[in-house]
Amino acid sequence: MEKRTLVEALNEALRLEMAADERVILLGEDIGKEGGVFRVTEGLQERFGAARVMDTPIAESGLVGMAIGMAIAGLRPVVEIQFMGFLYPALDQIINHLGRMRNRSRGRFTCPVVIRVPYGGGIRPPEHHSESTEAMLVHTPGIQVVVPATPYDAKGLLISAIRSPDPVIFLEPKRIYRAVRQEIPDEPYTVPLGKARLVQEGNDVTVIAWGSMLHEVLQAAEQLAAEGITLDILDLRTLSPMDVPAIVASVEKTGRAVVVHEAPRTCGLGAEIVAQINEKALLALEAPVERVTGFDTVFPLPQLEKYYLPNAERIAQAVRRVLAF
């Protein structure tokens, strides 16, 4: 076992699955010789050839549409979209075709397509490069939505996504692409889709997060531990299907909850999580559920993003509020 970054873990997952299954094809803008914007596909075209690691035109709708046709024909395409803000031209294909193909064909065809999307803020890029619109994707029937928060989960979840018979949008928090290292096995392994991970056990408050926000929650947990406050920390990992039983079990234990995400607050995924808690664990609550989120604005230009993104201090304050209620 070696310590690897999230980027290295993703590259290894792609390499292993391409070596094991010749149906796995990579498509994207500058993913071949350049290795992609963040170098996730670095070295794969040299190893597997341009017929399996294809550089495509800058046309996201055409790119995803082509992948849908490939999947119906029996291949397992993995698409890279450069940034989440560039995914929107492909929403027609994703919503109207990718998510509906199994139903439309009454089960005769499936679309085992993986769409990899670097997403979220924290690297100070220009506009359209820091979007976090996962709620829109979770709202789309027929699509699985996955977000790894660690290198170990990144490798295992991506392998599971590639092997899934149904489409997966695989959101990669680029803020932690190289910020986190973790020992992971060399051999292939899977992490099940649809299962949350209990990162840390505590008795006082349940804190629910995913992606890069998990690491802000862990920093907040260190601050709060010095005050004698312990957190049950849940990393959702898969946003759709969501592991609601894991959320309910934790909230029934602690009686209090905080949900953390960097997307805008209104109609963000946190609102759905609060609704699930109210429907299934209301009588266990000892305080209203708090949300720590981004703001209902366009993601600000680089000099303001540190004020927009949730941080450990904002999370710690929310935990103190639910405890003081």
- DSSP codes, 21-62: -TTEEEEETT-SSS--TTSTTTTHHHHH-TTTEEE--S-HHH
Q: 261 an active-site residue?
A: no
Q: Which of 97, 128, 129, 215 is catalytic?
A: 129
Q: Determine the Cα–Cα distance for residues 262 and 272; give it in Å rounded to an integer.
A: 15
Cα–Cα dist 53/62, whole Å: 16
Which residue in 7, 5, 45, 42 sits closest to 25, CA to CA? 45
d(CA 61, CA 88): 8
CA proximity to 247, closest of 286, 139, 170, 238: 238
CB 102 within 8 A of CB 142: yes
Which strand (E) or helix (H) includes residue 274? helix 269-281
Catalytic residue set: 129
